Amino acid sequence: MLNVREPSPVGGAHDLQPARPHVHRILALPRLALLLITVATLAIASNAQGARIVDWSLEGYPLDGKGSLNDTLRMVLTPLQPDVLTLEEIETQVSVDSFRTAILNRINPVEWAAAPYVVGNDSNNELFYRTTKFQLLGSWSFYPNQPTNSRLCDVYRMKPVGYASAAVEVRFYVVHLKSGNTTSDNAARVVETTTIRDSMNHMPAGTHAILVGDFNIENNSSTQGLQKLVQSQSNNTGRLVDLLNPTNVSQSWTYNSAFANVHSLCPCLTPGVDCPSRFAGDGMRDRFDFFMPTLNLHDAAGLELLTATYVTVGNDGQHFEKNLSASPAIPEGRPYANLLQHASEHVPIRIDLQLPPRLGVVSAFDLGTVIVGGGVPIAITNIAMAPAAPLHYSLAATTGFSAPGSSFTLATGPGALHTISTTAGSAGNRSGTLTITSDDPDHATLNVGLTAKVLDHAAASLDAATSVTAQTLDFGDHEAGAFTDQVVNVYDRGYNSLRAQLSLDGAVFGGGAGRFSIVGGFAPVLVAGTPKAESIHFDASGATTDSTYQATLTFHSSDEPLPGAASQPDLVVTLRARVLTGAADVPTGGARAFTRLEPPFPNPLDGGCTIRFQLAREGMMSLEVLDLAGRRVASLDHGLRSPGAYSIRWAGRDDRGVPAATGLYFLRLTGPRGDVHASRLVIAR
C-alpha cells in the first residue's frame, strides 16, 4: 500500500491496487553488433558535466533485467550521461534494483540511487538520480482518475546538490497517461490531465515543476487533454509550456512529415522483423513523449529548462516512417540507431536543466601588508554546476577599504578578480567587511571579513630629519692625486615599523666628463632605519689643471615592492671638484700662504649647508658652530690636517643630533697657527 505524503488536492488519494507484472521480450542483438556498437558510442558527444534529464518509456522492463537487453539499454544511456533519469513501464522493484545495479552503476559507478518505487495501474514509473548531483527530498503518488481506469502520477521533490534554498527545488511529475485513441481513452486522458493540472496549481507559489513522461496524446496539440496543461487559468502556479511549441500554435504531428524531427515513436518500421513484435511499428511518425515545465522554468532566469538542449535522441528528422537504422545514418551512427531500434518502441528524450548561480568566494580575505591606497585582488567565481545561470553581483566595502562600484555578471568557469583597496588614513592594522550582493538563491547578501596591515609610503631624503631632495657635495680644490672620496647618505626619513622601506633603484651621473663614480658601483638596495652610504670618487688623473668639474648624481627610488607602492622623488646631488696646478693655497713666487673660511651656502640654511675652508699649512685645526652667547653648538671638524681646500656638509644638528633652533649662529675656524676665522650663519626653519 502507498504511503501518500502529499495527496492530490483534487480527486483525493486512492488505495493503490498492485498491477500484474508484464514481461515483454526484446529481440537480442548479435554479439558482433554489440561489439561494433561499443566502439561507435565512443564518438557520440556526451554530457561531461551539467544537470541533464533523460526520460524513456521502456515498454515493460522485464523482471529478470539481464542479458543483452541490459547491454543495449546501457549502451544507449552511456553517451547521454543523465543526472536524473525518469522511466515509464519498469515492472517491479526487482526490475528497479536490476536497472540501477546492472545498467546505471556501470555507467557511473556507485553514484545512482532510486526513488521509492510504487506499483501503479500499468504505469510503473520510476526516477533514478546521481547522488553526486541531486538529492531526493520526498515523493508521493496519486491517481489522477479512478484507480480502475487510471495510471499513477508519481511526484518526486528533487534538489541539486550544493544548494540550501527551497527556491532551487524541482518537482518531477512523472506520468504514463491512458493509451489508446478511442473516445473513452481520450476522455480518460482529459480527466488525468485536468487532475494533474489541479494538483500542480496547488503547489506552493513559485514552485518549479516538470511534467514528464509518455503522454499517449495522438493527433495534435489542440487536443483537450494537452490544452488542460497549457491553458491560462485563475491559478497558473501549475501552468505548463510545451517547449517545442511554446506559443501553443495548433499543430498536427501524427503521420506528418513536417514534424519529423520531433517524433519519438517508433524507431522500428516492421515489428517482428526489424524489432520485437510488440512494438507499434510504422517508423518515426508520432510524438508521445514530453518535457513540460512550469512557466518559471521557462523565464530565462535562474532555474531553467534549456529549450536549445531538448533532443529526441537519435531523431535527425530524416527517418519519417522509416527504421531508425535506415539510410541516411543518424549522426550518432548506424550501430547506435540499431540499439535504439531494439531497446523500446520509444526513443529517449533529453534536456539540460540550467541551475541558479552559486557564489564562490572566501569567507575571510587578508590583504596582507600593503602601502596605503594599495589593494589586492579577490577571486569571485560562479561555482554552479554547468550549465548554470550567470551570477549577477555587486560589491561594497566598509570604511578603510574600497571595492569596484559596478555591477558584474559572471558565467561558470575561471571567475573574476576584483581589487579590494585600502583608502587614505593612518597606518596600522585594519579590519572591515566586504558585502557581496548577488542573485545566488542561498546568499543574496554575503559578508566577507577584510583585514590588512597598512604602511605609510617611504620618504626618500638626503637628510635623516627633514625632506632634502637636493644638495651639493664639494670635493674642494686640490691638485691631482689629493682628492679624497666623499660620502652621500640616502635616508628613508622617519622610518618605523609602519612605514614602507625605501627601494633605492638606480643612480645616474650627468656631466663631469665622466670623472665622478660610485666606489664599487651601484647596486639596488632596500633602505630602512640605517641610511645607504654611497662613497663618491673623483678621478683627477689627466684632468685639466685650474679647471672646475661639475656633475649631477640622481638617485631614483620608490616604495618597497608591496601593493600600493609608488615612485619617490628623485634625489639630486650636485658634485664639484677643482683641479689645481700645485699645492692648494700655496702661492708661487714667494707669495704669503693664507688660511680662510668661505661663507656657507645656502645661507640661510633649511635642512643643511656646505662649508668650505682653506688651510695654508699642516697643523691642528677645528671648525665649530657657536650661538650668539659664544657657546659651542656643534663641532664640525677637529684634528691634524694637511694644507689644502676642504668642504664639509652640516645638517643643522647639534652635537646631540638635535636640530638647532631657528636663529643667528657663527662659524669659527681655528687654523694651525691658532688664527681664528669666522662667518655668520642663519638657520631658518
pLDDT digits (tens, 9 = 90+) for 309-333: 999 999 999 999 999 999 999 999 9
Would you put residue 564 in left (φ > 0), alpha (ψ -120 to 50) or beta? left
Question: pLDDT at residue 567 above 80?
Answer: yes
Share of the chain above pLDDT 90, in %: 63
Instruction: Note whether 92 and 165 are same-domain residues.
Output: yes
* Pair 449, 530 in one domain: no
Residue 618 maps to a domain: yes
Contact call for residues 139 and 156 (beta carbons, < 8 A): yes
Q: Cα dihedral sign for 579, 584, 585, 588? A: negative
Residue-level pLDDT at 47:
34
Domain that holds residue 409: 359-455
The answer to whether the CB of 294 falls within 8 A of the CB of 238 is yes
- SS3 sequence, 325-369? CCCCCCCCCHHHHHHHHHHCCECCEEEEEEECCCEECCCEEEEEE
Query: Mean pLDDT over all residues of the chain?
Result: 87
Choose one of 322, 354, 386: the last residue of a domain.
Answer: 354
Q: Computed from CA positions of residues 202, 204, 208, 213, in that sequence, does the dihedral angle turn out positive or negative?
A: negative
Instruction: Give the pLDDT confidence score for residue 121 in this predicted structure.
Output: 66
Average pLDDT over residues 655-670: 88
Does the residue 191 lie in any domain? yes
pLDDT band at residue 43 using 50, 70 and 90 as cut-offs: very low
Same domain membership, residue 322 and residue 280: yes
Q: Which residue has the higher pLDDT, 505 or 61?
A: 505
Q: What is the average pLDDT across 506-533?
A: 95
> Over 60: is that where the pLDDT of 79 sits?
yes
In a domain, residue 9? The reply is no
CA-CA distance, 244 to 241, in Å (whole number)? 9
Residue 21 lies in a domain: no
When pLDDT is averaged across residues 200-209 and rounded to a whole number, the result is 96
Question: What pLDDT is recorded for position 676?
Answer: 81
Residues 669 and 539 in one domain: no
Claim to verify: residue 522 and residue 435 sit in the same structural domain = no
Q: State the Rg of the chain over Cα.
A: 46
Domain identity same for 480 and 417:
no
How many domains does the chain contain in total?
4
Would you say residue 5 lies in a domain? no
According to the model, what pLDDT value does residue 219 have? Answer: 65
Q: Is the pLDDT of residue 418 over 70?
A: yes
Can you tell me the mean pLDDT for 443-468? 95
Of 169-173, 216-220, 270-274, 671-675, the poorest mean pLDDT is in: 216-220
| Shared-domain flag, residues 465 and 547 | yes
pTM over 0.75: no
Q: Which of 582, 617, 646 is the last residue of a domain?
A: 582
In a domain, 10, yes or no: no
Residues 406 and 449 in one domain: yes
How large is the average pLDDT for residues 253-279? 91
Q: For residue 588, tell me if it sits in a domain.
A: no
Whether residue 11 lies inside any domain: the answer is: no
Written as nine digits, the cell of 292 is 513540460
Shared domain check, 433 and 502: no
Domain co-membership, 405 together with 510: no
Domain end point (choices 525, 560, 582)? 582
pLDDT of residue 32: 28
CATH number of the domain to which 619 belongs = 2.60.40.4070
pLDDT on residue 585:
39
Considering the domain architecture, whether residues 260 and 206 belong to the same structural domain is answered as yes
For residues 48 and 180, state if they share a domain. yes
User: What is the structure's pLDDT at 50?
Assistant: 61
Which burial class, exposed, middle or buried, applies to 308 when counting CB atoms under 10 A from its CB (0-12, 13-18, 19+)? exposed
Confidence of residue 598 (pLDDT cuts 50, 70, 90): confident
CATH of the domain at 232: 3.60.10.10
Most confident of 245-259, 531-545, 631-645, 656-670: 531-545
Q: What is the CATH number of the domain that holds 375?
A: 2.60.40.10
